[in-house]
Structure 1
Amino acid sequence: MEPIARREKIIEILSKRQAAVSGSELALMLDVSRQVIVQDIALLRAGGTEIIATPQGYLLLGETSQRFRKTIASKHDKGSIRDELTTIVDEGGTVLDVIVEHSIYGQISGNIMVSSRREVDEFMNKINRSDIKPLSDLTGGIHLHTIQCKDEATMKRIEDVLLGKGYLLK
């Protein structure tokens, strides 16, 4: 398959999938190496296609931007990460990212993209298997999350539950 046709196929695959698609899965589907996929994604992004990389794989942003989004401020220790994330997904939200404000580097963010307990478990397994500290450790537990959900009422419910648990900063 020619490179241009392959890149068009990547966009087609991502646009038809609601969940993230890993680079390895795309490579297998298109019979190329994962490195070729990484290069294709970089070229697609450079050409203006909004593709984000998440811990679960690649997502085309067009599909997710149609829902209600809000950024919330939160504070807790590392031991409460799982509870905060499962609270959000159990109430109907998707946690898109984590953002901290660093005194030297300014805003630092990382994609999380969790929308189910299974995805929260996978995310927590990655944290627990490594010596890497979560971004919120840089700021004494204070961090932001961009949350996506179906409507404003769902967001209000998420905020109320987080506030009740002492995680939400007002």
Structure 2
Amino acid sequence: MTSSDKILGDQRRDLLVKTLKQATAPISGRKLGEMTNVSRQVIVGDVTLLKAMGEPIMATNRGYIYMHPQVEPKKIEKVIVCSHTAEQTEEELNILVDNGVTVKDVKIEHPIYGDLTASVMVSNRSEVQNFIQNIQQTNASLLLELTEGIHLHTIIADNEQEIENAETALRKAGFLVE
């Protein structure tokens, strides 16, 4: 690749925003790099700059997404507290998505770093399975491992009944902390 093949600076970042706005699924940094003829690391820097400029871009375990303003009916968000082992993570996530909720993120309170939040963004069993496979393939640690299993999830649902059903199922499994 020669430097004339690269899309440079502001033009590249404009193209990234346009591409992410039009995307219907996350796009990996590698794919964005291939599209603009730069390295994934350059894309990481570009996304950091775009976020600093106020662009609502979120990094997920499957790539970057542009957070469009909600035009769909208002969703309900609730933060719940859970506790379980790392081995029970897939079961917990499946309980939540089986009850119609999206698991937006996971949060812990770290004694040194304070609140730590990571995107999860799973809405169905297939996405849960991909999430778990990514954890296993990368040998990454789950945040709950830093807090003896205690963690919070922001969950999103279409209505209160879905949230109540999810909480009931988590309670029954012994995962909900009240």
TM-score range, shorter chain: 0.7 to 0.9
* Counterpart check, 1:56 vs 2:62: yes
Match of 1:26 in 2: 32
Give the secondary structure class of the aligned counterpart of 1:58: strand
**TM-score with structure 1 setting the length:** 0.86
**TM-score with structure 2 setting the length:** 0.83
Q: Distance in 2 between matches of 1:21 and 1:48?
A: 19
Q: Distance in 1 between matches of 2:108 and 2:146?
A: 8
Q: Distance in 1 between matches of 2:138 and 2:39?
A: 27
Shift in CA distance, 39/71, structure 1 to aligned 2, threshold 3 Å: same
Paired-residue identity, %: 38
* Counterpart check, 1:40 vs 2:46: yes
Name stretches of at least 5 consecutive residues in structure 2 with no aligned partner. Answer: 1-6
Shift in CA distance, 71/18, structure 1 to aligned 2, threshold 3 Å: farther
Q: List structure 1 runs of 4+ shifted beyond 6 angstroms.
A: none
* Counterpart check, 1:112 vs 2:112: no
- How does 1:1-170 map onto structure 2 within 5 Å? 1-63=7-69, 67-170=75-178
Letter in 2 for 1:25: K
Name stretches of at least 5 consecutive residues in structure 1 with no aligned partner. Answer: none
Shift in CA distance, 130/5, structure 1 to aligned 2, threshold 3 Å: closer
Q: Distance in 1 between matches of 2:97 and 2:120?
A: 12
Letter in 1 for 2:89: I
Q: Distance in 1 between matches of 2:91 and 2:70?
A: 24
Q: Distance in 2 between matches of 1:40 and 1:159?
A: 39
Q: Distance in 2 between matches of 1:38 and 1:55?
A: 14
- How many residues get paired? 170
Once the two structures are TM-superposed, the CA of residue 101 in structure 1 deviates from its matched residue by 1.2
